[in-house]
Amino acid sequence: MSGLGGLNKTPSGMVMGLVQLQLPVVDTPTQLAAQTQRIVEMVGKARRSYPGMDLVVFPEYSLHGLSMSTADELMVTLDGPEVAAFKAACVAHQIWGCFSIMEKNPGGMPYNTGLVIDDQGQLQLYYRKYHPWVPVEPWEPGNMGIPVITGPKGVKLALIICHDGMFPEMARECAYQGAEVMIRTAGYTAPIRHAWQITNQANAFQNLMVTASVCLCGSDGTFDSMGEAMVCNFDGTVMAQGGGRPDEIVCAEVRADLVREARQHWGVENNIYQFFHRGYVAVKGGAQDCPYTFMQDMVASTARLPWEAEVAHTDGRSCGFAPPTRHFQGSEPNLLTAAAATAQPDLKDAA
């Protein structure tokens, strides 16, 4: 139940709006500035059309389009004018917002970054995409963890980006960190429609977690993005779903209190608990070992597929990118998370 698309808001409900934003063309700084203003205007539309909305979510690539350009003059920093405009829009319309930027990285390729800003204009969530859509995307893999925050109405929120959602481990990590609602923003085009739908539903059911997912929409003259906003309840059912109409805002009320109730009281298919306590009917507390060799090998940095030597695409040459020469430098602290216990952080150096 979605409260008739968020029109009927209950005291414990959080109303989310998923913006199927028209796929833009952004090749110049002037176009970047215009698209920034376009997103700001859509924040206003969200507030006007749904007075009870708590959080408006924009898709991946909503600011930059699908050109995959890494041109320095188009890349964004956390203290730049684009993020400042998003913060001001959230304050002006008293709404939380989820936004997408391609973040400048002086040490290498840019990051594909997601931000959640609260209704006071404060940055609450800062996430760099873990799994770029290789071999198509050139972005540096994320290195700051998958943060979970307390959002509107006390709801525990996580954010993943596009291809991240094809890995069940990503959704499991969000739930393990306490997320009750997982946002998934994307720029996917039509060939991914079926995989998009089944993974959004599976990620919800496997973790007793609401998933709220949205793609760009419409054509830029080359690519056709699909829209397909979806809100899936913790039992895997679809509560709200959009189609292919650009700039439609698909809205739903989500109930984190019901997620918490299910996680506490479900016996059959309480999968997020049972994964860590397998067979608890037969053995006290369930088996709590790690019987999965891929997990053990990954921790030891020795993971290797049986068919690894036969994999055809292992760099970006098929999509016009030169083979990389740098090695991944490993994870670093999320500056926003590290500073949260003291004060609103100075994030100028995070870019």
Judge whether 220 and 27 are in contact, CB under 8 Å.
Answer: no
Query: Is the pLDDT score of 314 beyond 50?
Result: yes
* Residue 305 falls inside a structural domain: no
Instruction: Tell me if residue 129 is catalytic.
Output: yes
What CATH number has the domain bearing residue 130? 3.60.110.10
* Residue 320 falls inside a structural domain: yes
Query: Is the pLDDT score of 35 beyond 50?
Result: yes
- pLDDT number for residue 213: 98
Judge whether 250 and 243 are in contact, CB under 8 Å.
Answer: no
- Give the percent of the chain with pLDDT over 70: 95
Which residue in 9, 60, 137, 217 is the catalytic one? 60
* Residue 209 falls inside a structural domain: yes
* Residue 111 falls inside a structural domain: yes
Judge whether 266 and 57 are in contact, CB under 8 Å.
Answer: no
pLDDT digits (tens, 9 = 90+) for 254-300: 999 999 999 999 999 999 999 999 999 999 999 999 999 999 999 99
- pLDDT number for residue 9: 86
Query: Is the pLDDT score of 345 beyond 60?
Result: no
Query: Is the pLDDT score of 124 beyond 50?
Result: yes
More confident residue, 332 or 108: 108
- Give the percent of the chain with pLDDT over 90: 89
**What is the domain count for the chain?**
1
Please give the residue range of the domain that contains residue 88.
3-297+313-350
Instruction: Tell me if residue 217 is catalytic.
Output: no
- The alpha carbon of residue 262 and the mean position of all alpha carbons in its chain are separated, in whole angstroms, by 23
Helix (H) or strand (E) holding 170: helix 168-176
Query: Is the pLDDT score of 332 beyond 90?
Result: no
pLDDT digits (tens, 9 = 90+) for 53-101: 999 999 999 999 999 999 999 999 999 999 999 999 999 999 999 999 9
CA dihedral 60, 64, 65, 69 (to 10 degrees): -110
Judge whether 251 and 16 are in contact, CB under 8 Å.
Answer: yes
Query: Is the pLDDT score of 137 beyond 50?
Result: yes
Task: For residue 330, name the pLDDT band (cuts at 50, 70, 90).
Answer: confident
Segment 173-177 long-range contacts (CB within 8 Å, at least 24 positions apart): 173/146, 174/146, 174/148, 174/207, 174/209, 175/207, 175/208, 175/209, 175/272, 176/272, 177/146, 177/147, 177/148
Helical pair 81-93 and 29-49, crossing angle rounded to 10 deg: 10
* Residue 159 falls inside a structural domain: yes
Average pLDDT, the chain: 94
Query: Is the pLDDT score of 108 beyond 80?
Result: yes
Which residue in 98, 162, 174, 215 is the catalytic one? 162
Return the number of other C-beta atoms located less than 10 Å from residue 56's C-beta: 28
Segment 329-335 long-range contacts (CB within 8 Å, at least 24 positions apart): 329/107, 329/143, 330/143, 331/143, 331/144, 331/145, 332/143, 332/144, 333/144, 334/126, 334/144, 334/145, 334/147, 335/126, 335/144
* Residue 276 falls inside a structural domain: yes
Residue 263 burial class via C-beta count within 10 angstroms: exposed 0-12, middle 13-18, buried 19 and up = middle
CA dihedral 266, 267, 273, 278 (to 10 degrees): -170
Query: Is the pLDDT score of 41 beyond 50?
Result: yes
* Residue 44 falls inside a structural domain: yes
- pLDDT number for residue 351: 39
Instruction: Tell me if residue 60 is catalytic.
Output: yes
Strands 123-128 and 148-150: unpaired
Ordered DSSP codes for 66-88: TS----GGG-B-TTSHHHHHHHH
Which residue in 9, 82, 87, 129 is the catalytic one? 129
- pLDDT number for residue 2: 66
* Residue 304 falls inside a structural domain: no
- pLDDT number for residue 350: 43
